[in-house]
Structure 1
């Protein structure tokens, strides 16, 4: 899920707790949905059938969620008598059945309902939209809400519950106008034209997923097929964006194959994207994708990679508790970079980590831990979570890291996992404790190390951490240079205490973490006899802050020498919003953009010299 980077950032406010989960004492096995979609009048009508296992305690009622704006006409059951139906509590449904539902019983109920789904969240739930410009008429659902606690929002159109451990099979029939296409989770079984001018689109998902991953979407789609089998890859595209979609979705099959090679086989029968007014959301087998991102060029590869990866991290293995959300979103954000590595090459991968992930993670501050964060949908969970995986890869090495991911997937396939369980899998491959790592970076620690490096005239240097709060311990790679000659590379264990290092090689400068594994900042303090000890070796963006911003954004960057640098900012449609050139000095520099007259949304900020280009994304939120 990528609500922030899509340019549709939800309000950063305390999460609204909508319902305690203590009444959810059953296990839904399968849901059948049979609904008519009236796009002109913003209405749905039909039924949802639920097959439920009673597996915790005996019950005489079933408690579900459904918005009050949807009127329940009747409830039937093939296994029990329906005594009464009540709607006590916020958007709640109580179905009283007899005889008592005992442990081991299976209950089959069908709920008939109709109405206009209420707007329950700034982002999630079901929405209707009329044709506007290049956008056609549409009805679509988004499975999570930004302002809800817990996040799932499908109760705006489907009787269900919000527990991520309640994984279900799914089958759906969508009755829509014949000039519209219906999309839902699973493989498409058929589409049948009716004499009354409607069509029924039929889908079935045979792999269990959490209910927040179910969805429907109806619009004037054309189906763009990229692969016919193993798995089917098809995208549901507006006719007005058909040409752009050919380039936009081009890397998807290659990236899917790369993820399967490193994480384990793709386990669903179909994959693709369906264009919607907002996005993105990793619905099972078909991502609801922000329509304005479908532009000429490959600007949004990162977004495609992120959502695709959720079919391993989120859909195949799902968090057991929302406090562990980084196992979904931090993983998928790191997969943005991994997609760059396996589709575009290592240089693109390193650049993406340095200019997109690490600056956003540093800008996130130290307000909360990654586990049980104060805010689910921010950079602490997403970009900092990704940087933690990047560092874990460095600590474990590629072979053990990726074998751990594959094993983690297999152990918790179609089930739920916690951070503790992921840590345990990693330790079983690493053959040593990683408690120190997970405590500092996930469970207890906040922020990141800010290293001060002091070079001494005696061919030694010392390394300290100047940040307040959490102090970090971890292995760090160091390069030793004498003039322009690399004399040695070593890996040292950095402790919070003042550490002095006396390498047995000549050097007059050092480069700490040259390949950018660690989330950090560096401050060099050369001794008077080592004035040239540190100078930037590459043109790089250090950070873009604040992010989100309104209206002024400051971009910090490093330049190895004096040179002209041009900054360009592009909106989500690829339109140039600003262009300015400044003369950079050797060392640290900044460029400032005042976006007072620009619209809210995500912007790609590009800094260019004659020989290099670096990019970073920032969200303008007015």
Structure 2
């Protein structure tokens, strides 16, 4: 840390001395179809208070919960919370025990008096967790499975109701936040969302750790951890002039390692909170705690208290940490209203992760890094694909689509909005800050985001969102070009053929950048692609030697380039709809093949006498991608045999002088 650090030794255990990422979540449990995933239910949650007493010798605990609610109907006489794997002992309202029942997955509570519309009340719920209950949302382990007894919660997307009674959907945030008070044996320490108000001693050799978080919070972002923790703090001053406390918890043995592993957090905070990027950090602090047991993910964006996989304590988790930190803006401050809009969380954070990793390592690194996201999506696309909006419930955290393609949607929006200067945030970032201000501490939908960007940039993005957000797939371009001298100049003819697979829409309408490489200079032009075939001619002062499609990697596409003769381009370039195609048949002086969607397993070319004159094997040659085959042969008739995944294609080609 290169900012002044203040050590707060509340753990009192021992002195603290100076010292391609995995993001996807497990398949979420099936949502109960009877629960409404919106904020139109009969009440709104205003605040949660949890007084949780953990023995730390087994997985059981007792809890006194207070939930403040507001009536959304004229008279509210009962309400229902999500509740599973727990035992409710009693419910108190207005000083009276009230009736309740626990149908599977729920806690139904009758109020002592009906609550008029717009009025608020507090209900006390007393419940406990049996030590033998399934570890869902709440996890506990003790030696020898772990070094120290450890209790923690992580309930994304809808498992927090396995450790307390709540409305377990993101649309209804607790508008006044939460208070989580951990009653622990005095040799243990606890952390939770927000700031530690105090630690008090209570009878029986116990302490209470009083955590307060007064900001609106979605249920899945609430968390606590308890173990034999050490703690160290520092403060970062942002470019806005704000000071943000950074608070870290870990086992004492890991304290020194985290000084290395977390060294870039202040720089990340300054980068994201810059006035021209995401703007002011939205909460009272930021911190990290390892998920020492039961935590299978790289990181989880619990509000103010990110949980990180223990393998990243000592380093190597820069991408994970910046991804989760960016969620404080995109996911925590502005939360997806429904899981149909989950890409607003994960796509945004994956894009932000790419931005910071590029800032840290340079533009070339960024290009390779975000290209890796594209490859992840292409791999996913080959097996199955669906729109990033409203994914199937079991796929809401699909890494290739929600995270990787989602990040590319933001990348392409930068291009469409003209926000293309490296490390100089422009129009899209300004729109993002307006989006943040418009939905600060609330929830938003995909349409909310689109409308804000349109409003701030003056662009109509309906077509863009229809193609990239509400539909699946991506474009596959084949670019043919030719050159011809024209006096002292050169004419370049370009034809872009869009040949998309059956897992994508037929045509993507998009501006497509092309770089014409000439002797001594390069000229960039923009192809305004509106149909499956685009043609254009450009005049160059110097001789063209090649064409580079999308040189700065702005568009999520694949594009194969072929130079052909003037006569061939002027005529009809024949495009075969199979996996391997012949360019111009009959052709002149040779055979030109194009391969679509990766290299074939085998390609063989035979002359008319049946003699094999050329052979390719993906296994033998070690190529996963092969675009063009050019083979100079005498005039005659030839036969091509290609094998893709045990499916054979045969083609005939005629070669003329």
Q: TM-score by structure 2 length?
A: 0.75
Q: Which residue does the alignment assign to 1:579?
A: none
SS in 2 for 1:424: helix
Q: Which residue does the alignment assign to 1:553?
A: none
Query: Contact 1:73/1:112 (CA < 8 Å) preserved in 2?
Result: yes
Measure how far apart 1:71 and its partner are.
Answer: 1.9
Out of 248, 251, 259, the residue aligned to residue 235 of structure 1 is 248
Q: Which residue does the alignment assign to 1:288?
A: 307
**CA, structure 1 residues 43+327, in 2 after alignment: closer, same or farther (shift >3 Å)?**
same
Query: Contact 1:118/1:156 (CA < 8 Å) preserved in 2?
Result: no
**CA, structure 1 residues 71+353, in 2 after alignment: closer, same or farther (shift >3 Å)?**
same
Asked if residue 155 in structure 1 is aligned to residue 155 in structure 2, the reply is no
Out of 496, 510, 517, the residue aligned to residue 474 of structure 1 is 510
**CA, structure 1 residues 587+282, in 2 after alignment: closer, same or farther (shift >3 Å)?**
closer
Counterparts of 1:283 and 1:440 in 2: how far apart (Å)?
32
Measure how far apart 1:142 and its partner are.
Answer: 0.7
Q: 1:418-460 CA deviation, whole Å, 9 max, x = no partner?
A: 11010000001121211011000001x2111111011224431
Q: Which residue does the alignment assign to 2:370?
A: 353
Asked if residue 383 in structure 1 is aligned to residue 395 in structure 2, the reply is no
Counterparts of 2:478 and 2:377 in 1: how far apart (Å)?
20
**CA, structure 1 residues 165+11, in 2 after alignment: closer, same or farther (shift >3 Å)?**
closer
Q: Which residue does the alignment assign to 1:273?
A: 288
Q: Which residue does the alignment assign to 1:370?
A: 388
Counterparts of 2:510 and 2:201 in 1: how far apart (Å)?
63
Q: Which residue does the alignment assign to 2:535?
A: 500
Out of 486, 494, 497, the residue aligned to residue 464 of structure 1 is 497
Query: Contact 2:44/2:69 (CA < 8 Å) preserved in 1?
Result: yes
Query: Contact 1:457/1:529 (CA < 8 Å) preserved in 2?
Result: yes
Out of 404, 413, 430, the residue aligned to residue 431 of structure 2 is 404
Out of 202, 206, 215, the residue aligned to residue 223 of structure 2 is 215
Superposed counterparts of 1:121-140, under 5 Å: 125-132=137-144, 135-140=147-152
Out of 36, 39, 42, the residue aligned to residue 21 of structure 1 is 36
Query: Contact 2:92/2:98 (CA < 8 Å) preserved in 1?
Result: no
Counterparts of 1:344 and 1:190 in 2: how far apart (Å)?
41
Measure how far apart 1:217 and its partner are.
Answer: 0.7
Counterparts of 2:515 and 2:625 in 1: how far apart (Å)?
19
Measure how far apart 1:44 and its partner are.
Answer: 1.0
Measure how far apart 1:167 and its partner are.
Answer: 1.4
**CA, structure 1 residues 509+251, in 2 after alignment: closer, same or farther (shift >3 Å)?**
same
Moved more, 184-193 or 203-212: 184-193
Q: Which residue does the alignment assign to 1:76?
A: 92
Q: Which residue does the alignment assign to 2:170?
A: 164
Q: Which residue does the alignment assign to 1:542?
A: none
Asked if residue 434 in structure 1 is aligned to residue 434 in structure 2, the reply is no
Counterparts of 2:172 and 2:625 in 1: how far apart (Å)?
54
Bigger Rg, which one? 2
Asked if residue 180 in structure 1 is aligned to residue 188 in structure 2, the reply is yes
Q: Which residue does the alignment assign to 2:14?
A: none
Q: 1:364-406 CA deviation, whole Å, 9 max, x = no partner?
A: 2152111001210112111110111011011112211000110
Counterparts of 1:43 and 1:519 in 2: how far apart (Å)?
49
**CA, structure 1 residues 70+453, in 2 after alignment: closer, same or farther (shift >3 Å)?**
same
Query: Contact 1:188/1:203 (CA < 8 Å) preserved in 2?
Result: yes
Q: Which residue does the alignment assign to 2:58?
A: 41
Query: Contact 2:476/2:499 (CA < 8 Å) preserved in 1?
Result: yes
Query: Contact 2:483/2:544 (CA < 8 Å) preserved in 1?
Result: no
Unaligned runs of 5+ residues in structure 1 are: 145-150, 531-555, 558-581, 590-622
Q: 1:306-339 CA deviation, whole Å, 9 max, x = no partner?
A: 1101110011001111101100111111111122
Measure how far apart 1:18 and its partner are.
Answer: 6.0
Query: Contact 2:24/2:397 (CA < 8 Å) preserved in 1?
Result: no
**CA, structure 1 residues 257+516, in 2 after alignment: closer, same or farther (shift >3 Å)?**
same
Counterparts of 1:373 and 1:214 in 2: how far apart (Å)?
24
Q: 1:583-618 CA deviation, whole Å, 9 max, x = no partner?
A: 9899959xxxxxxxxxxxxxxxxxxxxxxxxxxxxx
**CA, structure 1 residues 70+119, in 2 after alignment: closer, same or farther (shift >3 Å)?**
closer
Query: Contact 2:474/2:556 (CA < 8 Å) preserved in 1?
Result: yes
Query: Contact 2:21/2:317 (CA < 8 Å) preserved in 1?
Result: no
**CA, structure 1 residues 19+82, in 2 after alignment: closer, same or farther (shift >3 Å)?**
farther
Superposed counterparts of 1:90-101, under 5 Å: 90-101=104-115
Counterparts of 2:202 and 2:246 in 1: how far apart (Å)?
27
Q: Which residue does the alignment assign to 2:210?
A: 202
**CA, structure 1 residues 66+587, in 2 after alignment: closer, same or farther (shift >3 Å)?**
closer
Asked if residue 248 in structure 1 is aligned to residue 261 in structure 2, the reply is yes
Measure how far apart 1:240 and its partner are.
Answer: 2.9
**CA, structure 1 residues 117+403, in 2 after alignment: closer, same or farther (shift >3 Å)?**
farther
Q: Which residue does the alignment assign to 2:413?
A: 392
Counterparts of 2:549 and 2:560 in 1: how far apart (Å)?
10
Counterparts of 2:23 and 2:214 in 1: how far apart (Å)?
34
Query: Contact 2:73/2:116 (CA < 8 Å) preserved in 1?
Result: no
Superposed counterparts of 1:556-567, under 5 Å: none
Q: Which residue does the alignment assign to 2:472?
A: 446
Q: Which residue does the alignment assign to 2:481?
A: 455
Counterparts of 1:495 and 1:252 in 2: how far apart (Å)?
44
Query: Contact 1:117/1:126 (CA < 8 Å) preserved in 2?
Result: no
**CA, structure 1 residues 390+131, in 2 after alignment: closer, same or farther (shift >3 Å)?**
farther
Q: TM-score by structure 1 length?
A: 0.79
Measure how far apart 1:19 and its partner are.
Answer: 4.2
Counterparts of 1:392 and 1:102 in 2: how far apart (Å)?
46
Superposed counterparts of 1:563-574, under 5 Å: none
Measure how far apart 1:342 and its partner are.
Answer: 3.2
Q: Which residue does the alignment assign to 2:655?
A: none
SS in 2 for 1:502: strand
**CA, structure 1 residues 237+18, in 2 after alignment: closer, same or farther (shift >3 Å)?**
farther
